[in-house]
Structure 1
Amino acid sequence: MLWKRARRSDNVVSGGSGGGRGGKGLTLGAVVLVVAFGLITGQDPLQILGQLAGQLETPTTSNQRTPVANDEQTDFVRAILGDTEDTWRQLFQQAGRQYQDPTLVLFNASVHSACGMASAASGPFYCPADRQVYLDVSFFRELAQRYAAAGDFAQAYVIAHEVGHHVQTLLGVSAKVQAARQRGERMEGDNGLLVRQELQADCLAGVWAHHAQQRLDWLEAGDLQEALQAASAIGDDRLQQQSRGQVMPDAFTHGTSAQRVRWFKLGFEQGKVGQCDTFKARTL
């Protein structure tokens, strides 16, 4: 992948270890109470925690954060994020909308976001409460060693997937999913809304990859297979088989390996956001 052709984003910052926001956090007891309250009322505990965290803490401005390292890995992240910005700005403009860039926070070991504390074990994630993508600096090594999904385009897919969640937030998809949760609609499971939301983010990552390739012609032999391997490696069925020794469809939250590959490929081949409506699809 000839990723050095891409423009570098200025929206990559370092959250350090446990960085991202300052001030006092919630105690363990408070977190337990919030989770219990969420389960009783049908509200998303993460959203409640995010709102409380936002009230208890003072956001850390970008100039208070540690500058990102001047190394090739960080340069790569800035290049991929920069190209997602270019792609989605253009697509939003064509649709008569304005794209708002997310911030990508690089952290080590743990980080405090508006959605609560997270460790490296949770993997990359997007927090809609602060509209930021969080990425542990060691994740790409784990992607290659633990999931056998090495390669720069595999890494680019991971970033683009999380940016896909940001696009969902801007388009109002995330708010609709949250409203459905509060109405008691099915969230988990092989046909649940969480799976549909994640598969749409995969498709949106494919849409980005389609337009990025048209603009930069940066993919080399084997690059597409790297992304497909990464999508397959983190399917619910494969991860459950590895960790539990059995597949439990009722506990799916992201989709199977085959589904994740299918939706990324659809986005890559079509390059159209309208093709990514997983919520109306009869077959995932």
Structure 2
Amino acid sequence: MEPLSLLVLLVMGVVAGAINAAVGSGSLLTLPVLMALGLPPGVAVRTNTVGMFFSTVGSVLGYRREISEERRHLTPLVLTALLGASAGALLLLTSPAEALDVVVPVLIVVALALVVLQKPLTTALRSRSENRAEHRAAADGAGAEGATDAGASSDGSERSPLRSPALVGSIGAASVYGGYFTAAQGVLYLGILGVFTGRPMGSVNSVKNLLSLCVNLAAALIYMIAFFAVDAQVVWAASAAIAVGSLLGGFFGAHLAKRLPEWALRGVIVVVALVALFREVV
């Protein structure tokens, strides 16, 4: 790979790492660029996943205090994310190359739609969830509400929304997607965590970053094993350029990304991904 291409990937990695830490979907900068540089879709996904793993390392380090406060509730989510991502990565490895030529560009378009529509989708889902909760509370009555409060105070770990079976199951499904494709998994996690916990996105961002780390770790390990076992190609020079950039972006750039308006971050993602997709199609 040419030095100029590696420099472009390094710069994109920095920006993607910062965006991943702030709102997720940073891979929509690096993955389309890899494809525009001529990598087949499957190779591009594997190369990107290995490189972007380091962005999640930087993000988790940046949020280590917040993650520590939640750690006693996170075991089911972490295990589910690891299993789901492993299944998704194996699915990518066993998918025919001809199918990936069609599926991956389509998934990029879907991921772009998620980035653009994240806020209205999350608002609609959260409103629906809150309406259901209000209806249940009205049906149960004040006595049942008091019993619920008492149970929550006596066993806080069991009542944590982070241990909800519905949340864990939804994270599992999103992690299969993340292991298969990676791009925009953070958007999915933020939406799911916001809906099922009722918390604002800023307060669940640390959990999102930890889950993204788990997914990228599981998928990257599987791709590395497959590289040596069955010659599943990974462009290591490109992965290294993305890794260096995304590690710096995830750790240092997150503070800058958080100060920028979300519309600006989403705008960067959409423009870069559309340009790279246009080059791929043309």
TM over 0.5: no
Higher Rg of the two aligned structures: 2
Larger strand share, 1 or 2: 1
1 or 2 for the larger relative contact order (CA 8 Å, sep ≥6)?
2
